[in-house]
A and B are shown apart, each in its own frame.
Chain A
Amino acid sequence: MYDLIVIGAGPGGYEAAGHAGKMGKKVALIEKGRMGGTCLNVGCIPAKTFLRSSKLFHECKEAAKYGVRLGSVEFDMPAVVERKNRVVGTLTKGVEGMLKRAGVEVIAGHARLISRGAVEVGAARYEAANILLATGSRPAAPPIPGIRSEGVLDSDTVFALTHVPEKVAIIGGGYIGLEFACFFNEVGAKVSVYEMLPQIAAGCDLEISTRMLQIMKRAGIEFNLSAKVLGIEGNTIRYQVADGAQSSASADCILNSTGRAPVVDGLGLEELGVDFTPKGVKTSDLGKTNVAGVWACGDVTGRRMLAHAATREGIVAVNNMFGKKDRIRYQAIPAVVYTHPEVASVGRTEEELKTMGIEYKKSVVPMAVAGRFLVEHEGGTGMVKVLAGARFGEILGVHAIGDASSEFIIAAAIMVETEMCVSDVSEIVFPHPTVSEALREAILGVH
């Protein structure tokens, strides 16, 4: 009998298991695939290693701008994949080591709930006082004829590519599609993005996503917005644009990046009466499902679908199941898109504030107000946008585009989380010269 069985070893599940283990609880972690889940194996980490290589390749080609002359520069795809595997391996081992030190028992196999306190893995049966569902998500396959055909890659299979394709068609202009668009574009492929909506990076502050679109177009990526993909046959995509006209295009690599769907099937949730839809398992802010003793965190809940949100949700659930009061707050969870340049944000977008009828003041400054940004990014562009309450000046949202914004967005997250006001930030010293000074300038620019 375990105190806790966690199903799924992604950043939601393994962190929760480790946390419970460190609390002295008897914990089992069941994983059917590889340790680390999507994040470590086919998500955040591999994508970022790919993007690091493509960025370096791009910078080498641009090195002359910085007064550095190089000979010929080549992109070695097999070596990039090899490095990615090494990084993933190191991190996976790190997770395994952490779980071992925390005393978590790892069980390989597919878990299925057979009661509110019992799980079946193959022929074995395990019992626990609490079960945490952390089964994550998988690439979604919308009802487009041909999208499931073998030639269409998704974010699970794209990392197996051993060569750089000549022409890449990306279906979906969300953050996954945009990151791959940057990667393929930088390593020399001709990239076309097909997005159903009139804008890219849905959910992002519109001013930021508009700038993002502009920068990426300038970098050579082709965008087809308001473009509905009707079908895929072999190497050809058929799509319809806003005015109803149909076109087709061919590419030697087609990537489906239309989003991710929670993994809610094959777990025995229906039989147990767990409240869920294809969009996820319903949870409270404490991580509880409607069934006592069954908890959920991460992508399977369909709430924020971010690795760090999953981790926090899992820890909240563990704290609550073992009597420590805790509650997830979503208002200050930062999000980063690792395109080139990066986009980082936290809090409300301007569109959300308008919809909610919240009075706000805003300030936008170019990244170039920070000397370090000019130093680091020859010809680079970007901006920081701050939204603050009209009356008290509390920081409601910070949205930035420009490299290194992923590293300083946490400062903005702390401001939002602790309800700091513009006047408070004026008392905080930002290191010079850093790109974070653009954040300071934007905040102090709120009047």
Chain B
Amino acid sequence: MATPVEVPKLGNTVEECLIAKWRKHKGEQVSAGEVVAEIETDKATFEVTSPADGTVLETFFDEGALVPVFTNLFVIGAPGENIDAFRPKGAAAPAVELAAPAATPDAPKVERQVARPAPPAPSGSLSPRARRFAAEHDFHPAAVAGSGPAGRVLEDDLRQQYYESPRVSSLANKRIAEGLEIGGEGSGTGGMVLSSDLVLSATRMSGIRATIARRMRESLATTAQYTLHTSANAGGLLLLRAKIKASTGVPDININDLVTFCAIQALLAVPDVNVEFIDGKVYKHREIHIGFACDTPRGLMVPVVRDAHTLTAGQLSVKMKELTAQTVQGTVSPDDLSGATFTVSNLGGLGIESFTPVLNPPQVAILGVDSIQLKPVRREGRIEFIDAIGLSITFDHQVIDGAPGARFLKVVKEKIENVESICTI
């Protein structure tokens, strides 16, 4: 019996998902538990599996489509079963996919634009004459709207599309097959598209990227951001880190974990920074949920350690490593990607000496951690060099003025410089 599979609801705030990739196509055999599609929310990528053994009877959306949750995504069943009842209303009109072209090693001259190779599909959807036209003209568009009964593609449908398509030179066609795209009007004879008319393909922004883009735009548009820079003596941090490395049986707490731990201690001391600013109201939080910026192959993501103030440095370190691994792999739950009250962003590992972190509204502060640099200091009339870690903190001036902001940063600095006394391992 044909079984439809829906787009799952992947978190409380997720309304729609992007079809990132079809791992199985129409007509392919799958077994229960096998991945059929990869879908993407604005925060992470998920796999949709087949509930049963069978054949993929239909996939309702193209890659790149944005599909509401609980919408039928594909149907598994036995070949020949009718799936029309499961077709969602929003799905694209059933454009008929043409059979993949028979292997022709060298296509003839002055080819028409050949779209990406269509996946294998039943050839019954083309009339015999249409099939002959396609073969004779080496014309295999990805989709043609058929005007015959049940959307059957007739020769005239193909012919019309053939003559309306831009002519593409043989060389340009070969370059298109390598991923270039037609950039505009052809500059050759009669508007023929030449290789010089091709451009690098524009890629569709992933859902995650689009979300980052939107949030960053909103951040700059709705807040009054300013950044303060200072540095803290990192001697204690480095000593402690060396001690941790030398010990056995303790979590591998790194410099970033320690600085985050110090920031949490500073927030406990200055609770006015652990707030959110929404619609003109300032919401104070007793709990400290720490977001930390995480660089992933899909873009910036910010997993959140809940109730971070209740954790020891060791527990914090373990939790952050766990969330980092899940985030990089794309298996993190959407609920672990929201709800932070304060964020830490560390670019020190990349050698950055200072930067301007961008706020994650409605939070009002984000701490940037910079690299450790040698810094001259005057001590009893002598110049000495110390290891200093750079700190760059951005505040929302709507809520936190310069002086209180500077005072908070001073507290962070003190916590870091006294890390050995506040953090026991």
A residues touching B (Cβ–Cβ < 8 Å)? 327, 329, 389, 392, 394, 417-421, 423-424, 426-428
Contact = CB atoms under 8 A, between A and B. Distances in A.
Given A392-B174, A394-B170, A424-B170, A418 B108 contact: no
A418 B110 contact: yes
Tell me if A's interface is mostly helix, strand, loop or mixed: loop
B106 A417 contact: no
Nearest to A325: B185
Interface stretch (B153-161, B186-194, B248-256): B186-194
A419 B108 contact: no
Nearest to A427: B108
Interface in B93-142: 105-110
B71 interface: no
B172 interface: yes
A420 B194 CA distance: 10
Given A426-B106, A427-B108, A421 B189 contact: no
Contacts of A329: 187-188
B35 interface: no
A327 B170 contact: no
A222 B90 CA distance: 82
B171 A419 contact: yes
A251 B114 CA distance: 65
A421 B188 contact: no
Which residue, of A389, A418, A419, A420, has the highest number of chain B Cβ atoms within 10 A?
A: A419
6 contacts: A327-B187, A392-B175, A418-B109, A423-B105, A424-B106, A428-B109
Interface residues of B, number: 18
Given A394-B171, A418-B170, A424 B188 contact: no
Contacts of B189: 417-418
Contacts of A426: 106
> Which 3 residue pairs across A and B have the least CB separation, nearest first?
A419-B169, A423-B106, A419-B171
Nearest to A395: B171
Tell me if B's interface is mostly helix, strand, loop or mixed: loop
B343 interface: no
A419 B195 contact: yes
Contact of A421 (B174, B187, B192, B194): B174
A418 B187 contact: no
Nearest to A394: B171
Contact of A427 (B109, B169, B171, B188): B109
Interface in B147-204: 169-172, 174-175, 187-189, 192, 194-195
Which residue, of B105, B106, B109, has the highest number of chain A Cβ atoms within 10 A?
A: B109
Nearest to A423: B106
Contacts of A389: 171
Nearest to B194: A419
A423 B108 CA distance: 8
Given A392-B174, A418-B170, A420-B109, 7 more contacts: A394-B170, A394-B195, A417-B189, A419-B172, A421-B171, A424-B170, A427-B106
A421 B108 contact: no
Contacts of B105: 423
Contacts of B175: 392
Contact of A419 (B106, B107, B170): B170
B109 A424 contact: yes
A394 B189 CA distance: 17
Contacts of A423: 105-106, 170
Contact of B188 (A392, A394, A417, A428): A417
B170 A420 contact: yes
Nearest to A424: B109
A428 B108 CA distance: 9
Contacts of B106: 421, 423-424, 426-427
B367 to A, nearest CB: 50
Contact of B192 (A418, A424, A428): A418
B424 to A, nearest CB: 64
